[in-house]
Amino acid sequence: MKRALILLTVVASLTACKDDIAKAPEPVEMTDEALGHYCQMFVADHAGPKAQIHLKGYAAPLWFSQVSDAVAYVHDPERDAEITAIFVSDMERAESWAIPGTENWITVQDAMFVIESDRPGGMGVPEVIPFGSRGGAEAFQRENGGQIVIFEAVPVDYVHPDLPVMEAGDMGGHDMHGGVN
């Protein structure tokens, strides 16, 4: 009986994982009508890499005129929706900096990023520049400087210098019981 219960639990867990995988959104082709989440300007009007973030319960992604804005959104303490996927422009497959592409999306997990380069983003501020391979990131780095990192290693203060850096477990003055720390 105990063995059957364990087997049933394993099967149920695998089924739940399969459902989660099946529900993972695909990237959406960027159109001329896509508006940046923060600036509310047409994303395609700005040079450099773009990002789209998919949220649980929302049919359309949030668009970002530059990847650094998407990284800032991920770290925003006011964000409350669950992120189901983040896609960024693969600048290795982009036609040019001015034409980053509308379909060359990669997940942030599959990308290598160059930060602190000489190349500003589409809004003129420091950019987090994604590439589909380490070789692509290294080629860009040789010409433009910077540091190669994975998504999780992009410093919060690089993309959001006015956001206080919180230690693990710090609730930024808030706790879950309505009090102040």
CATH number (domain holding residue 110): 3.30.70.2060
pLDDT in tens, the chain (181 residues): 555 444 444 445 545 555 445 578 999 988 888 877 777 787 888 889 999 999 999 999 999 999 999 999 999 888 889 999 999 999 999 999 999 999 999 999 999 999 999 998 777 788 999 999 999 999 999 999 999 999 999 998 888 766 555 454 443 433 333 333 3
Classify residue 171: in a domain, yes or no. Answer: no
β strands within the chain, DSSP E: 51-55, 62-64, 83-89, 105-107, 112-115, 129-131, 147-149
Q: Has residue 77 been placed in a domain? A: yes
DSSP 166: P
35 located within any domain: yes
Report how many domains make up the chain. 1
Instruction: Say what the pTM is.
Output: 0.76
Please report whether residue 169 resides in a domain: no
Q: Within a domain: residue 167?
A: no
Residue 94 belongs to some domain of the structure: yes
Is residue 6, in this structure, part of any structural domain at all? no
In a domain, 179, yes or no: no
Does the CA dihedral 119-122-126-127 come out positive or negative?
Answer: negative
Domain that holds residue 46: 25-159
Q: How far is residue 15's CA from residue 68's CA, in Å, rounded to a whole number? A: 36
